[in-house]
Amino acid sequence: MRNVIAAEWSKAWTGKAWWTLALIGVFLGVLAGTGFVAQADADIAAGRDTVEAATDQVVRCWFMLMLFSALFGAVSVTKEYNSGAIARTVLLSGGRGRLLAAKLIAGTGMGALYAVLATVLAAASPMLFLATATEHEPVWTGETTLTLVGVFAVTLLSAPWGVFLGWIIRNQTAAVATLLGLTLFVDEALLRLLPEAGKFTLTIAMSSVYRDGKPELLSVPLALLVITGWLALSGFAARKLFLSRDVI
């Protein structure tokens, strides 16, 4: 099993996917942080915002790396189908169950690296953006620390979500489109149209963890239970489908 995990870990670093997705995520994080600071400067001066809240929001901007962590997880699985290598990979790994577990471990490991990247940049962003672009010094509070922990957690947990969707959907374009659609449109739209149901979607539950602050969101402990439920359900579906369907 150790050799199978090592092989999947090596594959994770092969090609452009890991650094391309990380680079796009960092670019969007910088864009969001600088854009927010420009608005926050005017709001603080007008008394509509505080430096403490602005510091939290700049840190919170880096939650978007969770999307790219999930995309990497999905791509790490679906590229096997796109290249036609999935049958050979199953044979070399010694069984479907072993390959499923190895992909999950490798994908989650890369998700952890994405989470570390997001956390480091989020921790540095108040000084990089707020202090240099405005006359305000950032104020780090306990809420800021909890927001930073939330950014790490959702970025890490998004990786297995992407891996499971990859096994379920198989097609790379469809998997990427599904993740983008759910994260950027469907879950948010459902929250606005039907908040009592929308707050239980995975993406919105994750926004509770990085302390988005919307009043209709779940508490953090309940949100973590909801996230666990989504991961368990998708993991069960992924395993059942992969073990029962034809490999190709």
90-105 confidence digits (pLDDT tens): 888 888 889 999 999 9
Parse the chain into domains and list their residue ranges. Answer: 1-244
Query: Picking from 122-136, 138-152, 225-239, which range would have the lowest pLDDT averaged per residue?
Result: 122-136
Average pLDDT of the chain to the nearest whole number: 89
pLDDT at 80: 87
pTM of this structure: 0.90
pLDDT at 10: 86
The pLDDT of residue 187 is above 90: no
pLDDT at 66: 94
- SS3 assignment for the chain: CHHHHHHHHHHHCCCCHHHHHHHHHHHHHHHHHHHHHHHHHHHHHCCCCCHHHHHHHHHHHHHHHHHHHHHHHHHHHHHHHHHCCHHHHHHHHCCHHHHHHHHHHHHHHHHHHHHHHHHHHHHHHHHHHHHHHCCCCCCCCHHHHHHHHHHHHHHHHHHHHHHHHHHHHCCHHHHHHHHHHHHHHHHHHHHHHCHHHHCCCHHHHHHHHCCCCCCCCCCHHHHHHHHHHHHHHHHHHHHHHHHHCCCC
Tens digits of residue pLDDT in 22-58: 999 999 988 888 888 777 777 777 777 788 888 898 8
Query: Picking from 83-87, 114-118, 174-178, 240-244, which range would have the lowest pLDDT averaged per residue?
Result: 83-87
Model confidence at 132, in pLDDT bands (50, 70, 90)?
confident
pLDDT at 121: 95
pLDDT at 93: 82
Mean pLDDT, rounded, for 216-236? 94
Residue percentage of the chain with pLDDT more than 90: 53
Query: Picking from 21-25, 233-237, 244-248, which range would have the lowest pLDDT averaged per residue?
Result: 244-248
pLDDT at 17: 87
